[in-house]
Amino acid sequence: MKYEPIIGLEVHVQLNTASKIFCGCSTRFGAGPNTQTCPVCSGLPGGLPVLNSEALKKVVLAGLALGCEISGNSTFDRKNYFYPDLPKAYQISQFYRPICLGGYIELPSGGPPGQPMRRIGLTRIHLEEDAGKSIHSEDPEHPISYVDFNRSGVPLIEIVSEPDIRTSDEAYGYLQRLKSIMKYLNVSDCNMEEGSLRCDVNISLREKGSEKFGEKVELKNLNSFRSVKMAIDYEIDRQAKLLAAKERIVQETRLWDSRRAMTFAMRSKEEARDYRYFPDPDLPPIHLDEKYIEDCRLALPELPDRKKARFMEEYSLSEQDAEVLTSARELADYFEMTVSRGAVPRRASNWIQSELLSRLDDVDRIGAFIVTPEKLAALLSLIEDNTISGKIAKAVFGEMAESGADAETIIREKGLRQVTDSSEIGQIADRIIVANPCSVADYIHGKEKALKFLVGQVMKESRGKANPRMTNEILLEKLSRLQRLNEGGR
C-alpha cells in the first residue's frame, strides 16, 4: 500500500468510585432508571458540584502508571452542547489545564525477540463527568425516547493518545495494555459491555514518506476491541480507495455498524471551538502538592512490566510465559496462588496457559473459576508424586472443571491411580510380549521403534494407568533378555 495510516485513540474509562464525581449519588450499574439522581447530577438550577476525592486519586494513579506528568494546577471547564442526556447543556470536563500531560504505553515490537518495545505516546489524561443515557423504544408504532440520568455524573477519565498508531493490530494491543494497567490499578472494571471502557478512533491516511497529515475521520460506536480493529481496517481500505481515485476525504464522524461491518457518515466533525469551552466558575482549581503526588506514587501496585520481570527471575519462566501470565492481574494472582500452594512454577504455568485458559471465555472471570488455585495445585502434586500420569491428569482436570470435585475424589472414585507396582506392570508386559510376536522380533532385529509400540500396548491394556517410565524400563529389560537368549541360541 502506498499510504500510511495515522491513528490516534481517545479512550473513556469509567472510574469505579462508589459515588459520582460531583455529588453523593451511587454509581452502581443496572439500577432502575433515574433512581440514582439528585439536583446536582440531574442539572437542576442551584445544584453545586463538589469534587469526589477518590476520583481525583484514581486519575492521579492512572497518570503515574502511564508515565504522565501530574499537573500541580489543573482546572475544570464547561464543554457546551445541547443533547437530551445532558441536562445542564454542558459537560464538566478539563480542556485548558488537564490533570495529566504526556505519558506513554509500550507495546511489544511484534518483531523477533530482543527488539525494543514500541512506544505509543499519550497527549493527556483528563477528568470529566459522564452524560446520561438515551433509551429509544424499539416499537415502530410508538417511537418514544426516554432518558436515564443514573449515569449522569459518573466519573470518567479520557486518555488521549498521540497519532502514533499505524495499524489495527497496534490499536488492539494498545487497548489491551491500557485495560490491563487500569485493572492492575483497580481504577475501573473496564467492562466494555457495561460501557465502562469506550473508545473512539481518529484516523487519516497520508502518502508514505509525507510529513503532512491527511483529513481526519473520527470513528464512533465501537463496542468491543474487535470492532475497533475491524472498523480501522475497513476505514483504511475506504480511505485508500478514495485517495487512489483522487477523491476528497471528508472530515467527519462516522459510526461503525457491526452488523453490516462498515462505517457510515453520522455528522461533520465538530471542532474544539464549536464547544465554547470556558472555565467552570462553580469549581475551584485543583492544587496538588508534591506530597500528595508522592503518596499516590507509593500506593501504586506492582504493574505488568515489573511483575513480568519478577516472574522470569523468581519462577524461571520464559519471557513469553511471563508475558501471558501477567497480561491480566487476576491471571497473575491465580498463578501465584497456585505456586504458593506447592505447585512447580513451570508446570503451573503450562497448565494454566493450556488447560485452564482454553476453558475460559473471559480471563477476567478466572477468580470465579470452579477449579481454584488450591485444587489445581493439589492435582499437579499428584503428577509430581507419580500418583497419576500427565495424560490422566488432563482428563481429571476436565472432570474438575465440570463438577468442581477435587482431584483426589475423582481419582479414587474412577480408580485412576497410576500403577507403580512393578510385578503388576510386569504381568501386563508379559501378556503383550506373547500377543505381539512380530513386534518383539522386529525389536530383537534392531527396530527400536517397535519398543514404543509395545509400551503403547501396555499403557492401553492398563487403561493409561501404568507408570510410563516404569513400563519402558520393564519392557526394555524383558526384551533385552529375549535378545540375549536369541543371540545365545544362534
Q: Is the CB of residue 10 less than 8 Å from the CB of residue 228?
A: no
Instruction: Tell me whether residue 1 or residue 44 sits nearer to Zn ion (CB atom).
Output: 44
Per-residue binding string, Zn ion, 8-37, x by CB under 5 A, is: ---------------x-x------------
Between residue 159 and residue 218, which ones bind Zn ion under the rule CB under 5 A? none
List Cβ<8 Å contacts ≥24 apart for 448-457.
451/475, 451/476, 451/479, 454/429, 454/479, 457/432
Q: Is the CB of residue 221 less than 8 Å from the CB of residue 256?
A: yes
Phi then psi for 479, rounded to 5 degrees?
A: -70, -40
Cβ burial of 406 (10 Å; 0-12, 13-18, 19+) is middle
CB of 24 to Zn ion, least distance (A): 7
Rounded-to-integer distance, Cα 288 and Cα 64, Å: 14
Per CB under 5 A, which region of 41-49, 296-304, 313-321, 385-393 contacts Zn ion?
41-49
Per CB under 5 A, which region of 38-46, 114-122, 141-149, 213-221 contacts Zn ion?
38-46
CB of 33 to Zn ion, least distance (A): 14
CB of 381 to Zn ion, least distance (A): 53
Phi then psi for 210, rounded to 5 degrees?
A: -80, 150
41 binds Zn ion (CB under 5 A): yes
324 binds Zn ion (CB under 5 A): no
List Cβ<8 Å contacts ≥24 apart for 169-172.
169/110, 169/229, 170/7, 170/107, 170/118, 170/120, 171/7, 171/9, 171/201, 171/228, 171/229, 171/232, 172/225, 172/228, 172/229
Instruction: Tell me whether residue 41 or residue 66 sits nearer to Zn ion (CB atom).
Output: 41
51 binds Zn ion (CB under 5 A): no
Rounded-to-integer distance, Cα 379 and Cα 350, Å: 14
Instruction: Tell me whether residue 49 or residue 163 sits nearer to Zn ion (CB atom).
Output: 49
Instruction: Tell me whether residue 24 or residue 301 sits nearer to Zn ion (CB atom).
Output: 24
Give the H/E segment covering residue 262. Answer: strand 262-268
Instruction: Tell me whether residue 85 or residue 374 sits nearer to Zn ion (CB atom).
Output: 85
Instruction: Tell me whether residue 40 or residue 433 sits nearer to Zn ion (CB atom).
Output: 40
CA nearest 406: which of 371, 360, 382, 365?
371
Among 3, 4, 38, 330, binds Zn ion (CB under 5 A): 38
Residue 106 bridge partners (DSSP):
119
Instruction: Tell me whether residue 127 or residue 219 sits nearer to Zn ion (CB atom).
Output: 127
Give the single-character DSSP code of 370.
Answer: S
Instruction: Tell me whether residue 20 or residue 78 sits nearer to Zn ion (CB atom).
Output: 20
CB of 91 to Zn ion, least distance (A): 15
Please work out the total of residues on this chain that contact Zn ion, with binding judged by CB under 5 A. 5
CB of 309 to Zn ion, least distance (A): 44
CA dihedral 473, 476, 478, 481 (to 10 degrees): -130
Which residues form the interface with Zn ion (CB under 5 A)?
A: 23, 25, 38, 40-41
